[in-house]
Amino acid sequence: MDLPQLLAIRARRDFLRLCAGGLDMAALAHLLGASSAAADLPAGNPLAQRPPHFAPRAKNVIFLFMAGAPSQIDLYDPKPALRRWHGRSLPESMTRDLQLAFVKPGAKVLASPREFRPHGRSGLQFSDYIPHIASCADDICLVRSMHTEAFNHHPGQSLLMSGSVQLGRPTIGAWLSYGLGSESEDLPAFVVLSSGRGSSGGSSNWSNGFLDSTYQGVVFRSTGEPILYLKNPPGVSERTQRARLDAIRGLNRERYSATGDAEIASRIQSYELAFRMQAAAPGLLDFSDESQATLDLYGVGKEPTHPYATNCLLARRMVEKGVRFVMLAHASWDDHQEIDRKLGRNCAITDQPAGALLRDLKRRGLLDSTLVVWAGEFGRTPMGQLERVDEAAGRDHHASCFSAWVAGGGVRGGHVVGRTDELGLGIEKDPVHIHDLQATILHCLGLDHERLTYRHLGRDFRLTDVAGEVVDSMLA
Amino acid sequence: MAAQRWFTSLERCYRVNVRSVIGQQMSLGSVDPSDVELDGTSRHGRPAMTLWRALVLALVKPARHCHFSRLTGRRESLRRMSVGDKHGVRLARIVALAVLAAAPGASAPGDLESVAAVDFESQVAPVLESRCYACHGSTQQMSGLRLDSGEAALKGGHSGPVILPGNSEGSRLIQLVSGQVNGLAMPPAGERLSPTEVGLLRRWIDQGARWPEQPEPSAVRAGPRHQGHWAFRPVRRPSPPAVRGEAWVANAIDRFVFARLEREGVEPSPRAASETLVRRVSLDVTGLPPSPAQVEAFVADESPDAYERLVDGLLESPHYGERWAVQWLDLARYADTDGYEKDSERPYAWRWREWVIDALNDDKPFDQFTMEQIAGDVLPGATVEQVVATGFHRNGLKNREGGVKIEQFRFEETVDRTNTVGTVWLGLTVGCAQCHDHKYDPISQQEYYRLFAFFNALDEAEIEASLPGESGPYLRALPDYRERRRRLLESNRVYELQPAWEARMIEAADNPGKWTDWDHALDALQKYLDNGEGIVRKPPEDRSDRERAKLEDHFVKNYHRVITKQFREELGWDALRERLLRLRAQTPDITYARAVTEADPPRATHIHLRGAWNRTGLAVEPGTPAVLPPLDASGEHSRLALARWLVSPQNPLTARVTVNRIWQEYFGRGIVPAADDFGTRSAGPSHPDLLDWLAADFVAGGWRLKRLHKTIVMSSAYRQSSRTRPALAERDPDNLLLARQSRLRLPAEMIRDAALQVSGLLDPTVGGPSVRPPQPDGVADLAYAGSVDWDPSQGRDRYRRGLYTFLQRTVPYPQLANFDMPDRTAASCMRERSNTPLQALNLLNDQSFVEAAQALALRAVPEGGSGFERALERLFRLALSRRPRPGELAALLEYYRRQEAIFEAEQETAERFMPLDAPGLTASQAAAWTGVASVLLNLDEFITRE
């Protein structure tokens, strides 16, 4: 083995080791200095691990993002009183000031055709559409009093993910990667998996906003190459790829000495991370080390669960590898028509894998350190959206109240936060705004949402904008 | 004792007996007295300050930025209290509630008072004045509501009356001040009205809401308050200041920049090396790196005007129009598809792009450039090209999804058009006012809809916009084409069946909801055929040839919606469609363009309450915001008047916004850093006089963009080295002072262009329809339900510049998206310059870049591959416009040798990596050279303008 080869191999090994913890810049400088004149790279690997503000309850987040706004009335928040009103209009005094996207306030009430019953020791009520999630009732903290001010999809999704209805702000995964760095040495800190149709917010749901682009969500594809351009070009082996990278790094480093531009140091790091991703990412998709029982638990290889099950299992594998934030976007729950059939379809796709994810994390001891969040951007109206209140009917957007849940990561299982009124029009007790949920998620990760800031255009920005409170009652 | 002082100060502030209030609450059982110790600390020893802070927060903390606060500010702020001190929180809550309840107004409401007559002057007016006038008074009328005059107050706001005399229960005013209505409460921030105050208002309304006679207050508008804002002041032309370092000054720009540097005691940087400068200015002006010959000629040219001649040559290059069109396409949210769901193609969208490139290359003055795009269709004696320019308004998203209401989407498109013009010309996010007034924003909701009204009056149109050489063949082929088409349609019974179908369409349109299947058919007609319903309603003899043909095509394609499957199979119109398409494809055609026209009859515009398409309020006339100079609409068509207003010398924004955006491309940052926000909350310019001088000079010079570009690139400020200086990096990390140039990563398209250019693959053709270069399999599959088909272009079209890449909104070309091309859903003024592993993978492994590396290797390496150093030098000069340094040579020599050795041992891999045909080179040599070329194309320096 000649010297350059030896250096290359050593370099790679060192990188893996160094990047496992905070990147020791002296060591990196030494490493990079192996092939060129010594000049220090600026300190600061943007993905180096950083300490939280206080002891965290969780290290990772899996965000089950249900894009399009699932109906809380048919899944999580039973409203038997709607039966009395079924097919009739509510009095104007009740509906006058509802913000509705499409229906008129006088639209006819649509009672849920679903059956609710209590589950677990805690007796949390879930509908019969989500038996697997319901079976984890004692691990779930169900918030029935979520609310938001955005009642259209893209702004709503933007608020949920970035704390603002205006596009261009960093999303929660980006904030967490920025605040805590990466635990993974060969995968991005923030990964996005999607199933179903694209979500309305598209890539703005995993944007880094004005933060360094290192923090943006990286989309993993569940078929073909998991990441675009992951495979070496034809004729390039791992060895020649490494040599190519070493040559690029050497020359980039020379340029850094000549110009002093810190952007070059970032470029060197992004190439190294790219190389490590090439090695690590395909292994994530190779489920041969999973037992058949595990695959069956999620529903991998079965219809209609397969795509979502694959993503849930991938999420667990990524969390094991130290990925900080995994977003699983599933679209679309925007059921303006035929809500019962479409909701049933989406639940058939996602319920079993989501329940399996909780069970699997728990039995592996990962649920304590992983916060699982299940949420859409808003909820749906108690009124139907067609003249008829039969199987053709759907529900409109409803921002005043909806449900979401969190599990694991130091939250209080088997617990319900908040209460809506008997018709599901508004909140009666303990409202939780999206900013409050965001503050609570950051809190579980050991971050104070008021201290996690970034200065941009002369102002300190934060995920929770100018609001948000940690919801104590959600915490264990 | 501290706590004692605290209580005293509270009492002083609010003239209440805090202790007794706490006592009362306790006696009512709402608190466990053991929670509280009377010295004001909780039992757990938190200092009283916590409580004090809670109270202050409770009183002063504003609610959310938006009016639709979700709760009263009070409760919120209390929840904000530190975790783990619940007793303290609880006490503070009690104190705050008590204080609030007892705050101004003093006496408690009693039964006796409910019948006493309320005096407006002494009792009601003070409440309105202290609590409402700030937003609903003489200086501002949020939501159109004004409460300082009887007439106005009783009239109400945009959503109607808020005071119903005699009916306090039904009065929106009372509903909003006494509680919250669907998240909305008044006042939206700060302290709520006390029960006493609410009681007073209630009784006053129930007693008839009598408002004493008073002189009408003067009609002061929101505007003047903001007229002091720097961006709204008229542009003046400041005199360039004298500076000590005259030798450094190349033009006026340098005087402004250098004067600031002198004040700060900072030296500018030396001029960049010639190789760097020629590459920089070529990339900036044309988007392409210079050829080695251009670099050599410039470096060797010692004449004093060498640089100026270089600049003039670049500005004359047709590639200038391509490079700067990219910025305009971002602003105009240009794409080749509709966006949303099926994301259908817009076959002639590129015709407008062609107009932009030509206009820039012709140096069409920016005022003219503006007027043609805003209102080219209504210019007197408008030419086809001027109407093509209005395609600007057609670049927004279009939702053709079934079930979307036509009127709703037309509203959303009009909002998009209004916002786009606001951003592009005025640098203002006017869209904030779509839903309601904002206290500190310069544009009211009413003004927003006055601006909106200009665009509410337009309709979409498709026009014939043939390019040179198209008309002759088209006209010659036309008679034969028509005859063949007619025979096809006739023999397939189209003419026979169509009249009945049209009649049913009109019936469905007149009786919505009566026949569901015909409703769907009508919906499809309206969605997929522009003005479909209008065409059907026209008598056949009044339809244009194109309208007739399009309607026939639609009929043939969509007839199945209303017939049985059996009849459909019998008719066999799927085959007919194929034949019609084939006939069309075989016949020479002309190019069309997407444009706009005036709606006839004109539409009335109303304020849309809360920005909702279907909730309209007061009617408004077209108009411009009051903070800006008035519109001169004397006798002219209104959209044209708006266009002239945008580029009138009095308009303080258009020129400032435009020069700032151009400047931003040359320095990486605008003089105003947020190029899309010149509003009252903008950070403001770093060099205010420079901005104004550039704006004034731009207008005085006849709005000539090329002249502006030249002024900027001729300055010494532009020509500085971009090398960082340690002392300066400490002092001015963001380079606000411009004591150096900046290294800037190239925009997405230009990374592609540079790779194609240096490898010799680029097809430099300017203009034409969009192309689809190859992309990885599966990318298009991510679009909705397989609706996108990416059939790669063949031949030279694979190697066109990035700006011609077909822009499929739902699944954009990955290389462009990876390098931060905006999503083109709304006007974008600034591109990100990210630096990610995905970009690394893209440049390392994407077949397009491998192909470029192969071509570059072949181009640089002479046959036989002899003379490593010469070949490497040629590679460097092609890719990086400079010679390699000794260390670089040595490193690449080592790399080359290792690669050659590896490929020697692995012939098979070498053959897969090398170019298809490499005369005179062995496979391992060719592969190793490809590796070297690929290394250069992956360098930070290659994708960076230094």
B326, HSE (Cβ side, Cα atoms, 13 Å): 27
**Digit-coded pLDDT (tens) for B102-124:** 333 333 333 344 456 787 877 88
Answer whether B844 touches A (CB < 8 Å).
yes
Please tell me which of the candidates A149, A224, A230 has its beta carbon nearest to residue B841.
A230
Please tell me which of the candidates B183, B722, B887 has its beta carbon nearest to residue A149.
B183
CA distance A243 to A260: 25
Task: Report the pLDDT value the prediction gives residue B488, as an integer from 0 to 100.
Answer: 92
Answer whether A278 touches B (CB < 8 Å).
yes
Residues of B in contact with A230 (CB under 8 A): 841, 845
Residue A70 vs residue B200, higher pLDDT:
A70
- Chain A nearest-CA residue for B779: A228
- Chain B nearest-CA residue for A194: B782
Residue A270 and residue B840: Cβ atoms within 8 Å? yes
Q: Which A residues 63-122 touch B at CB under 8 Å? A: 96-99
Task: Report the pLDDT value the prediction gives residue B930, as an integer from 0 to 100.
Answer: 95
Residue B43 dihedral angles phi and psi, to the nearest 5°: -65, -20
Whether residue B41 has pLDDT greater than 60: no
- Give DSSP secondary structure letters for B593-643: EEEEEE-SSPPPEEEEGGG-TT-EEEEE-----TTSPPP--TTS-HHHHHH
Whether residue B408 has pLDDT greater than 70: yes
- Of A267, A420, A448, which to mutate for an interface test with B (greatest number of B Cβ within 10 Å)? A267
Q: Kindly give, in sequence order, each residue whose CB lies less than 8 Å from that of residue B499, ignoring residues fewer than 6 positions away.
A: none
**Digit-coded pLDDT (tens) for B791-801:** 999 999 999 99
Whether residue B17 has pLDDT greater than 60: no
Q: Which A residues 315-334 touch B at CB under 8 Å? A: none
Residue B610 and residue A469: Cβ atoms within 8 Å? no
Please tell me which of the candidates A97, A252, A466 has its beta carbon nearest to residue B182.
A97
Task: Report the pLDDT value the prediction gives residue B118, as an integer from 0 to 100.
Answer: 80
Residue A232 and residue B845: Cβ atoms within 8 Å? yes
The list of chain A residues with pLDDT below 70 reads 1-46, 99-104, 166-168, 197-202, 213, 222-224, 386-388, 456-459
Task: Report the pLDDT value the prediction gives residue A459, as an integer from 0 to 100.
Answer: 62
Q: Which amino acid is at A454?
A: Y
Task: Report the pLDDT value the prediction gives residue B64, as an integer from 0 to 100.
Answer: 32
The one-character DSSP state at B424 is: I
Answer whether B171 touches A (CB < 8 Å).
no
Q: How far apart are the first and last CA of chain A?
A: 57
Whether residue B570 has pLDDT greater than 50: yes
Taking each helix axis from N to C terminus, what angle separates A3-20 and A25-33, rounded to the nearest 10 degrees? 170
Residues of A in contact with B850 (CB under 8 A): 233
Residue A277 and residue B782: Cβ atoms within 8 Å? no
The one-character DSSP state at A108 is: B
Task: Report the pLDDT value the prediction gives residue B18, as an integer from 0 to 100.
Answer: 34
Task: Report the pLDDT value the prediction gives residue B32, as an integer from 0 to 100.
Answer: 34
Task: Report the pLDDT value the prediction gives residue B475, as an integer from 0 to 100.
Answer: 93
Angle at B637 between CA B631 and CA B640, to 5 degrees: 65
Residues of B in contact with A229 (CB under 8 A): 776, 814, 838, 841-842, 844-846
Q: Which A residues 215-274 touch B at CB under 8 Å? A: 216, 218, 221, 223-225, 227-237, 239-241, 243-248, 250-252, 254-255, 258-261, 263-264, 266-267, 270-271, 273-274
Q: Count residue pairs from A and B with Cβ separation < 8 A.
A: 215
**Digit-coded pLDDT (tens) for B635-651:** 777 899 999 999 999 99
Averaged pLDDT, B174-200: 79
Structure tokens, A287: 């489920």
Q: Which B residues 585-644 touch A at CB under 8 Å? A: 610
Residue B446 vs residue B512, higher pLDDT:
B446
Whether residue B13 has pLDDT greater than 50: no
Other beta carbons within 10 angstroms of residue B784's beta carbon come to 15
CA distance B265 to B268: 10
**Which of helix, strand or coil describes residue A456?**
strand
CA distance B127 to B199: 11
Answer whether B886 touches A (CB < 8 Å).
no
Averaged pLDDT, B265-287: 97
Q: CA dist A340 to A75, A88, A304, B506, B946, Å?
A: 11, 19, 17, 34, 59
In this structure, the dihedral spanned by the alpha carbons of residues B465, B468, B469 and B470, taken in order and rounded to 10 degrees, is -10
Residues of B in contact with A37 (CB under 8 A): 887
Residues of B in contact with A2 (CB under 8 A): 898
Residue A266 and residue B846: Cβ atoms within 8 Å? no
Contact A53, A451 (CB under 8 A): yes
Lowest mean pLDDT among A313-327, B395-409, B881-895, B900-914: B395-409
Please tell me which of the candidates A216, A240, A243 has its beta carbon nearest to residue B836.
A216
CA distance A161 to B571: 52
Element (H, E) at A190: strand A190-196
- Of A271, A338, A459, which to mutate for an interface test with B (greatest number of B Cβ within 10 Å)? A271
Lowest mean pLDDT among B55-64, B258-267, B580-589: B55-64
Residue A273 and residue B844: Cβ atoms within 8 Å? no
**Which of helix, strand or coil describes residue A23?**
coil
Angle at B407 between CA B402 and CA B410, to 5 degrees: 95
Please tell me which of the candidates A36, A229, A400 has its beta carbon nearest to residue B887.
A36
Residue A36 and residue B891: Cβ atoms within 8 Å? yes
Q: Kindly give, in sequence order, each residue whose CB lies less than 8 Å from that of residue B861, ignoring residues fewer than 6 positions away.
A: B871, B874, B875, B921, B929
Residue A469 and residue B80: Cβ atoms within 8 Å? yes
**Digit-coded pLDDT (tens) for B208-225:** 888 776 544 333 344 445
Lowest mean pLDDT among A111-115, B343-347, B894-898: B343-347
Residue A431 and residue B726: Cβ atoms within 8 Å? no
Structure tokens, B780: 């298009």
Residues of A in contact with B944 (CB under 8 A): 263
Q: How far is A364 from chain B (nearest CA, A)?
A: 31
CA distance A306 to A329: 15
Q: Which amino acid is at A222?
A: S
Whether residue B86 has pLDDT greater than 50: no
Task: Name the pTM for this structure.
Answer: 0.75
- Chain B nearest-CA residue for A246: B895
Answer whether A473 touches B (CB < 8 Å).
no
Chain-wide mean pLDDT for chain B? 82
Please tell me which of the candidates B840, B845, B895 has its beta carbon nearest to residue A243.
B895
CA distance B390 to B622: 19
**Which of helix, strand or coil describes residue B418?**
helix
- Of B745, B841, B854, which to mutate for an interface test with A (greatest number of A Cβ within 10 Å)? B841
The one-character DSSP state at B235 is: P
pLDDT band at B4 (very low <50, low <70, confident <90, very high): very low
**Which of helix, strand or coil describes residue A26?**
helix
pLDDT band at B87 (very low <50, low <70, confident <90, very high): very low
CA distance B869 to B857: 14
Q: Which A residues 173-212 touch B at CB under 8 Å? A: 188, 197-198, 202-204, 208, 212
Structure tokens, A189: 């800190």
- Of B935, B936, B937, which to mutate for an interface test with A (greatest number of A Cβ within 10 Å)? B935
Answer whether B897 touches A (CB < 8 Å).
no
Q: Kindly give, in sequence order, each residue whose CB lies less than 8 Å from that of residue B342, ignoring residues fewer than 6 positions away.
A: B400, B401, B784, B785, B787
Answer whether A431 touches B (CB < 8 Å).
yes
Residue B891 and residue A470: Cβ atoms within 8 Å? no
Lowest mean pLDDT among A264-278, B323-337, B890-904: A264-278
pLDDT band at B97 (very low <50, low <70, confident <90, very high): very low
Residue A255 and residue B940: Cβ atoms within 8 Å? yes
Residue A128 dihedral angles phi and psi, to the nearest 5°: -70, 0
Residues of A in contact with B835 (CB under 8 A): 212-214, 263, 266-267, 270
**Digit-coded pLDDT (tens) for B228-238:** 889 999 999 99
Task: Report the pLDDT value the prediction gives residue B183, as an integer from 0 to 100.
Answer: 62
Residues of B in contact with A198 (CB under 8 A): 782-784, 810
Residue A255 and residue B778: Cβ atoms within 8 Å? no
Other beta carbons within 10 angstroms of residue A209's beta carbon come to 24
Residue B723 and residue A2: Cβ atoms within 8 Å? no
**Digit-coded pLDDT (tens) for B457-500:** 999 988 999 999 999 999 999 999 999 999 999 998 889 889 98
Q: Kindly give, in sequence order, each residue whose CB lies less than 8 Å from that of residue B895, ignoring residues fewer than 6 positions away.
A: A243, A244, A246, A247, B931, B932, B935
C-alpha R_g of chain A: 24
- Give DSSP secondary structure letters for A260-311: --HHHHHHHHHHHHHHHHHHHHHHHH-GGGS-HHHHHHHTTTSTTTHHHHHH
Portion of chain B with pLDDT greater than 90, in percent? 49
Among B880, B938, B943, B881, smallest CA distance to B744 is for B943
Structure tokens, A268: 């060197």
Residues of B in contact with A99 (CB under 8 A): 182-183, 610
CA A309 to chain centre: 16
Task: Report the pLDDT value the prediction gives residue B188, as an integer from 0 to 100.
Answer: 76
CA distance B469 to A10: 64
pLDDT band at B130 (very low <50, low <70, confident <90, very high): confident
Residues of B in contact with A465 (CB under 8 A): 64-65
CA distance B598 to B942: 49
Complex confidence, ipTM: 0.77
**Which of helix, strand or coil describes residue B932?**
helix
Portion of chain B with pLDDT greater than 70, in percent? 82
- Chain B nearest-CA residue for A337: B403
